[in-house]
């Protein structure tokens, strides 16, 4: 963390998702002065003692005050911006989706202002919808995409692909400053459901602290990538059969299953069914953003499947929130 | 149910799975005289008041007596045969897997006898393993396969495909009397996990009694079958987006999701990745066996994907248990 003085603070920026909340205090040039995180995602708001009709609103207030109340009081005139599920139907203030195609240079024009009960204004970044069948939506990843675009890049290709792994992974197809399309994969959530609620989890130790087993993960990747695969529903069953046969020991099964799922996701992006021209071009540069350990797994899959032009960015969200604030004239 | 006299009973046959137990009293020529079913699968055995070291053995005894104790006492010399998870490591008596290729005409040679605490002998049908990577196993479906082979068929093709939908669907590749290979899909279990433990289930009514919505199911099939699909992990997310957009009402979401999953399973069998020669030949006759409502969904998928030679058999398990007993000289 850089040791910059707090009095240079310029922006309070929130990444408010389903299961987590992060707050950034940003200084000159978007420099990160402080980062805080809590589990108060919109589906995990703090419980209050007294219930009332506007209980949910009060729980949002409480989460907001809990993570950055001191910043709000110390810097009463600092603008506050937020991206993510805070703008969803279950969020603090529902905002309408913008529609594709979207020029990321104009995202700041569409911020939705919202006054909290204590009178502080929060600027909410709206989500993005691809209305073409079968439809797709995102909230928060459009901000990361802008952050990635704002970062120095050595590519001369006009087309880039952003991969944002997570509970619901997003792959965003960008040409110049424009988001042309995106795809969602429920990989993270499906992994959790398979591990906790199917026979596959029965022999997997619940202790998550064990170290990453790269060999088992790669074995799962190779299974998902092989020519003879009959798809995910079939491949995941081998987690069970290889355990029965003693080929996989319990400590290896979780990473093997993770390899199968991530492998199927990455394979689907690189080799879509039949019409191979629809796949990601080999020369398209790919940038990963999000949790670093998870991004390393995706990078490992991409490299194993033959890609080389892969980058990782740890601060896409902060950079995106900073640049949207500039676009909107908040700074 | 045929009105045959019970005194003609020839065989007590059990289909003992993970979550259910069925008992058949079979008469001359394998005619079904009585059928009973209970929820006492090997993972749902009855609870006993007193616990002891051999508690699990006693719970098996209790389930066995509960479903057919009266038959056992009325017909003390009738042979008893059982197939399914009863022979697994978590079953009453673990039996070794037979290995592929297997001539189904010789399955009866491999029965494993087992004496219960009350002195009754049960003949257990062993499961089947495909040891070639990435491995596969079945317990119970080999018996259904023999049952299907024993039934009158009008096909002249030497090759047939048996599709046995369920928690873990099996597709069995049979040439003549020989099982050449098989594939497992965790479709049923994944459906339950997605519905009960992911965001997709949040807007699906828990009441299962609502009638089947064929239009929503077909919509899911078409999504899974389309050329541009990026696979299951991506397609299932549309259950959420189409609900958000109001395109799918809550009553339609479960059948839409079911259509996506079954569609991916059937598509994978008919159109495996890249090497199209490995797919099921168009002229290969397909026979479905198992729960009728579920088989009808699979039949609907197969027909929608262009297949016509599809049959359904409701009594494959009984017929298999009967014919194995003949092979083994029990009758």
Q: Is the peptide bond before A134 cis (omega within 30 degrees of 0)?
A: yes
Give the up-direction half-sphere exposure of residue B155: CA atoms within 13 A in the CB hemisphere. 22
All residues of chain A having their beta carbon less than 8 Å from the beta carbon of residue B193 are 193-194, 197-198
Torsion-angle region of B290 (φ positive above 0: left; ψ -120 to 50: alpha; else: beta): left
Check whether B260 has a pLDDT greater than 90. yes
pLDDT at A208: 60
- Report how far residue A85's alpha carbon sits from residue A19's, in angstroms, rounded to the nearest whole number: 9
Which contiguous run of DSSP H or E holds residue A260?
Answer: helix A250-270
Residue A99 tokens, joined: 């529609």
Q: Do B197 and A197 touch (CB under 8 A)?
A: yes
SS3 state of residue B311:
strand
SS3 state of residue B145:
helix
Residues 6+ apart with CB under 8 A from A133: none
Q: How many other C-beta atoms are found inside a 10 Å radius of the C-beta of residue A220?
A: 28
Q: Do A198 and B187 touch (CB under 8 A)?
A: no
Q: Which of B199, B223, B273 sits opposite A134 (nearest CB)?
A: B223
Q: List, as one string, the DSSP characters of B14-43.
A: EEE-SS-EEEEEE-GGG-EEEEEEES--TT
Residue listed under structure tokens 């369920």 = B166
Distances (CA, A) of B297 to B32, B144, B213, B225, B234: 26, 19, 11, 15, 22
Whether the CB of A186 is below 8 Å from some CB of chain B: the reply is yes
Check whether B4 has a pLDDT greater than 80. no
How distant is the Cα of A329 from the closest Cα of chain B, in angstroms? 32
- Report how far residue B24's alpha carbon sits from residue B11's, in angstroms, rounded to the nearest whole number: 8
Whether the CB of B185 is below 8 Å from some CB of chain A: the reply is yes
Which contiguous run of DSSP H or E holds residue B122?
Answer: strand B121-124
Residues 6+ apart with CB under 8 A from B12: B23, B24, B25, B26, B68, B71, B72, B75, B78, B79, B80, B81
pLDDT at B274: 65
Whether the CB of B227 is below 8 Å from some CB of chain A: the reply is yes
Angle at B240 between CA A275 and CA A108, to 5 degrees: 85
The residue ranges of chain A whose pLDDT is under 70 are: 1-4, 50-54, 153-156, 208-210, 274-278
pLDDT at B51: 62
Residue B150 tokens, joined: 């024993």
- Report how far residue A275's alpha carbon sits from residue B226's, in angstroms, rounded to the nearest whole number: 11
Q: How many other C-beta atoms are found inside a 10 Å radius of the C-beta of residue B285?
A: 19
Distances (CA, A) of A50 to A42, A47, A165, A275, B134: 19, 9, 38, 58, 56
Strand order from edge to edge, sheet including B98-99: B98-99, B128-130, B136-138
The number of angstroms, rounded, from the C-alpha of A158 to the middle of its chain's C-alpha atoms is 23
How distant is the Cα of A324 from the closest Cα of chain B, in angstroms? 26
Q: Do A264 and B233 touch (CB under 8 A)?
A: yes
- Report how far residue A174's alpha carbon sits from residue A99's, in angstroms, rounded to the nearest whole number: 15
Q: Is the peptide bond before B134 cis (omega within 30 degrees of 0)?
A: yes
A316 with A153: CB under 8 angstroms?
Answer: no
Using the Cα atoms of residue A124, residue A320, residue A43 and residue A98 in order, give the sign of their dihedral: positive
C-alpha closest to that of A312 among A93, A191, A148, A157: A148
Whether the CB of A184 is below 8 Å from some CB of chain B: the reply is yes
Backbone angles phi, psi at A22, to 5 degrees: -125, 145
- Report how far residue B83's alpha carbon sits from residue B316's, in angstroms, rounded to the nearest whole number: 12
Q: Which of B196, B232, B274 sits opposite A232 (nearest CB)?
A: B232
pLDDT at B153: 67
Which residue in B166, B228, B233 has the most chain A C-beta atoms within 10 A of its own C-beta, making it the best mutation to test that interface? B233
Residue B276 binned pLDDT confidence (cut-offs 50, 70, 90)? very low
In chain A, what are the domains? 6-151+320-327 (3.30.420.300), 185-308 (3.30.420.310)
B8 with B30: CB under 8 angstroms?
Answer: no
* Assembly ipTM: 0.92
Whether the CB of A161 is below 8 Å from some CB of chain B: the reply is no
Strand order from edge to edge, sheet including B159-164: B102-103, B178-185, B169-175, B159-164, B286-289, B310-313
Q: Which of residues 51-110 of B touch A (CB under 8 A)?
A: 89
Q: List, as one string, the DSSP characters of B78-97.
A: --EEEEEGGGSTTSSS--PP
- Report how far residue B159's alpha carbon sits from residue B175's, in angstroms, rounded to the nearest whole number: 4
All residues of chain A having their beta carbon less than 8 Å from the beta carbon of residue B185 are 230-231, 233-234, 237
How distant is the Cα of A7 from the closest Cα of chain B, in angstroms? 42
Q: Do B229 and A272 touch (CB under 8 A)?
A: yes
C-alpha closest to that of B79 among B26, B41, B136: B26
- Report how far residue A249's alpha carbon sits from residue A72's, in angstroms, rounded to the nearest whole number: 51
Q: pTM for the full model?
A: 0.93
pLDDT at A49: 77
* Tens-digit pLDDT profile for residues B113-157: 999 999 999 999 999 999 988 899 999 999 999 999 999 766 667
pLDDT at A6: 75
- Report how far residue B254's alpha carbon sits from residue B274's, in angstroms, rounded to the nearest whole number: 31
Q: Do B233 and A272 touch (CB under 8 A)?
A: no
Q: How many other C-beta atoms are found inside a 10 Å radius of the C-beta of residue B327?
A: 18
Q: How many other C-beta atoms are found inside a 10 Å radius of the C-beta of residue B6?
A: 12
* Tens-digit pLDDT profile for residues A53-83: 568 999 999 999 999 999 999 999 999 999 9
């Amino acid at each position: 963390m850089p040791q910059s003085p707090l009095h240079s603070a310029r922006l309070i920026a929130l990444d408010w998702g389903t299961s987590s909340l992060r707050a950034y205090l940003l200084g000159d040039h978007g420099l990160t002065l402080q980062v805080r995180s809590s589990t108060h995602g919109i589906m995990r708001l703090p419980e209050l003692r007294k219930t009332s009709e506007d209980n949910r609103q009060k729980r949002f207030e409480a989460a907001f005050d809990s993570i950055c109340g001191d910043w709000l009081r110390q810097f009463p005139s600092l603008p506050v911006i937020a991206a993510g599920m805070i703008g969803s139907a279950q969020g603090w203030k529902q905002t309408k989706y913008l529609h594709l195609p979207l020029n990321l240079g104009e995202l700041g024009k569409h911020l939705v202002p919202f006054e909290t009960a204590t009178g502080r204004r929060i600027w909410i970044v709206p989500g993005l919808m691809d209305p073409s069948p079968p439809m797709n939506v995102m909230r928060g990843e459009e901000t990361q995409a802008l952050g990635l675009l704002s970062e120095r890049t050595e590519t001369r290709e006009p087309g880039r692909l952003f991969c944002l792994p997570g509970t619901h992974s997003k792959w965003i197809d960008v040409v110049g400053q424009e988001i042309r399309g995106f795809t969602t994969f429920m990989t993270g959530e499906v992994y959790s459901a398979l591990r906790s609620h199917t026979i596959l989890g029965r022999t997997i130790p619940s202790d998550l602290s064990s170290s990453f087993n790269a060999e088992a993960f790669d074995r799962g990747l190779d299974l998902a990538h092989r020519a003879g695969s009959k798809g995910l529903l079939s491949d995941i069953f081998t987690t069970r059969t290889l355990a029965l046969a003693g080929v996989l020991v319990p400590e290896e099964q979780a990473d093997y299953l993770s390899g199968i799922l991530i492998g199927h996701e990455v394979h689907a992006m690189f080799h879509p069914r039949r019409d191979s021209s629809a796949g990601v071009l080999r020369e398209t540069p790919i940038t990963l953003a999000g949790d670093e350990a998870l991004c390393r797994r995706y990078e490992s899959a991409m490299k194993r499947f033959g890609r080389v032009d892969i980058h990782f960015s740890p601060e896409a969200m902060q950079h995106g929130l900073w640049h949207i604030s500039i676009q909107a004239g908040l700074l």
